[in-house]
Structure 1
Amino acid sequence: MDEVAGAIADPVRRRILEMLKDGRRLSAGEVAERFAISRPAVSRHLRVLRQSGLVRAELIGRQRFYALEPEPFGELITWLAQFGRPSGWEHRLDALETEVYRTRRERRPTTETESSSREEETA
């Protein structure tokens, strides 16, 4: 878990992970094009991500393609979950949502005849 946390501590590495999150495979060159840092610097970031197990590299011809490996996030996610929303918040937010919808429904005319009779009363 410490290695994963250390790997995602850097904003460049987090951005690389975001680029790969949709199952895309990108070459080191494609990754480097999206940053204003040198290609060797991007390669170092990719190496850290590879060593932490967060990305895998696949050699195709002379190019290395990188893809996300989501499994190592599991232990970190489990650990972070203990700091999530306090229990009860979900219930309170659900209750608030229900109340908002109920209030909207009560304010809305249900039929055209009700709507036209309200217009006549105000005229």
Structure 2
Amino acid sequence: MISVTLNLMVHYESPALDRSFAALSDATRRGVIAELARREASISDLAGRFGMTLTGMKKHVAVLEGAGLVATQKVGRVRTCRLGARGLDHEAQWLADMAALFEARFARLDTVLDELKQEEEHGRAND
């Protein structure tokens, strides 16, 4: 049983998904993504908007960049950030697959509950 679980875990291992979801697990980083969806911004601009230090924002941007969600370019002393080119298609597909799995399981549960309800009503009618 344990080996089956481990095999399933290895089967679903995806370092790219892990990095994306880890990066998106933080509210500040999600906010940075939302800001960059509107327009490019320097790390200094982002730090000011989020009321944090430049060092703190650099760390957040580095996590987002490591996940491929943000790209940066340094021109002179200014590092400009924009959304990464790869987007969130892989993450969205994974979420859609999981949503479909849950919906199918809930549909099966609804069927079982309906059958139990009918059996109960049939039992009362025979009493």
What TM-score comes out, normalization by structure 1 length?
A: 0.63
Higher relative contact order by CA 8 Å / sep ≥ 6: 1 or 2? 1
The aligned residue for residue 5 of structure 1 is: 21
- Give aligned pairs, total: 86
Q: Which runs of 5+ in 1 are unaligned?
A: 88-123
The aligned residue for residue 96 of structure 1 is: none
The higher radius of gyration belongs to 1
The aligned residue for residue 9 of structure 2 is: none
The answer as to 2:51 corresponding to 1:36 is yes
Residue 80 of structure 1 is aligned with which of 95, 105, 109? Answer: 95
4+ residue segments displaced more than 6 Å? none
1:38 is displaced (CA, Å) by 1.9
Q: Find the aligned partners of 1:80 and 1:70 in 2 and give their Cα distance.
A: 20
Q: Find the aligned partners of 2:85 and 2:77 in 1 and give their Cα distance.
A: 26
Letter matched to residue 50 of structure 1: E
1:4 is displaced (CA, Å) by 0.4
Residue 83 of structure 2 is aligned with which of 53, 57, 68? Answer: 68
Letter matched to residue 30 of structure 2: R
1:74 is displaced (CA, Å) by 1.3
Higher helix content, 1 or 2: 2
1:60 is displaced (CA, Å) by 1.4
CA RMSD of aligned residues (A): 1.9
1:13 aligns to what SS in structure 2?
helix
